[in-house]
Amino acid sequence: MSVHCEGKTLASLRKGESATVVGLQDVGRDNAALRMRLLELGFVAGERVRVVAESFPSRDPIAVRIGNTTFALRRHEAAMIHIDHPAAGT
């Protein structure tokens, strides 16, 4: 699912926060491969995602858990993933 609206993204979450994926930003041709990679990793609408670690001091990259798998994402990659309202500690 492509998302065209502005709102919260995975990049805005802090360590320990979780949310539900709403969709991915429509990125055009330049980032089509990255968008496909995110979909293949499981960042699809309805999936719960949680930030489990952040690099210090820049918070880039972040470690996120989706299902039973943990991935490292750069902030610009996480900014492509739109989420619902985060819930701390869930």
**pLDDT tens column, 25-56:** 876 777 788 899 999 999 999 999 999 999 98
CB 64 within 8 A of CB 51: yes
**What is the C-alpha to C-alpha distance for residues 86 and 27, in angstroms, rounded to an integer?**
23
Helix (H) or strand (E) holding 87: strand 87-88
Domain covering 2-87 in this structure, CATH number = 2.30.30.90
Residue 13: burial class (beta carbons within 10 Å; 0-12, 13-18, 19+): buried
Residue 18 pLDDT level (bands cut at 50, 70, 90)? very high
pTM attached to this predicted model? 0.82
